Amino acid sequence: MPISIGPPADNPPTPRISHGHTLLATQWAEEVEKRTDGAVKINIFPGATLTPADQSYDGVVKGISDLAMGVLSYVKGRFPLCEVIDLPLGYQSGLEATRLSNAFHQKFQPKELSDTKVMYLHGHGPGILHTKTQLSNLEELKGLKIRCTGTSAKIVKALGATPVAMPQTETYDALQKGLVQGTLTPIEGLKGWKFAEVLASTTKNLGSSYSVAFFVVMNKKKWDALPQQAQAAIEQVNREWMDKTGQAWDQFDQAGQEFTLAKGNKVIELTPAEDQRWAKLVQPILDEYVAASQAKGLPGREALEFCQQWLKNNR
């Protein structure tokens, strides 16, 4: 008899495929069913149907849902060691961020994730600056109001701009009305959120770019109940989907860049020297992470050094 992953439902709702990652998640579920010869069938429910976004991880822990995909930083302080992934480490691609996330998890096996079975992690492409005017140095950024949230707010402040905390959903209107003069986000948002319609320029500040750690996790009891053969098949699919997901982020970024250029907007590359100036200014954010994690008895310094060395060795 097939094992159904997901709440019982005679007619489980069909998720609205509005983003490439929704499609990718659906393909992952279909591949799991195929590789397990139908022994495991996953019922996908649209976001926030079973739990709000900021409760999706704990919803898996409690068994409200068997699987969840979400963002670790939605619950500030819940995953303190994993916050290293969200730091401005100077990411250059989504594939890089995704591979690093999984290498970090394999190396440190964070206790904060031990109450679920981690399928895989992933991270979006470089979080960089997009503004209403062309900007190629720190002096031009100084004092501008930049939409941001979480760790990115620290980055904006460190770079000398004025952080304005705001959900992604409110950003378009705020840019259109001039309430903010820019946003910090991966370039895919220029198309996915149509920001290119209300912005004029993208600055590739890759030396100070950040990413955000996403998770795909399963309830531990549900995982342990699966036959070993099914577990092995799912693990193989997970390994394949790590790169598929990272590559997808990069494809979305490429589409965002093509979209903004088609609108007549500019994409500005910082000079190496200028990029290094930006990177130097965000260093205190990394130091703050180390101090905060070590105060909690966590190996923050080791985690940061591992991530930095991994990036250096894998480019």
Domains of the chain, earliest start first:
3-76+100-124+212-253 (3.40.190.170), 127-210+263-313 (3.40.190.170)
Q: Which residues of the chain have pLDDT under 70?
A: 1-19
pLDDT at 199: 97
Please provide residue 10's backbone torsions phi and psi, each rounded to the nearest 5 degrees: -65, -35
- Report whether 206 contacts 18 (CB < 8 A): no
- What are the counts of helices (DSSP H) followed by strands (DSSP E) for the chain? 12, 11
Task: Identify the H or E element spanning 288.
Answer: helix 283-295
The strand pairing partners of 183, in sequence order, are 130, 147
- Does the pTM of the predicted model rise above 0.75? yes
Q: Find the DSSP H helices in 3-93.
A: 20-35, 56-61
Per-residue confidence (pLDDT) for residue 1, from 0 to 100: 28
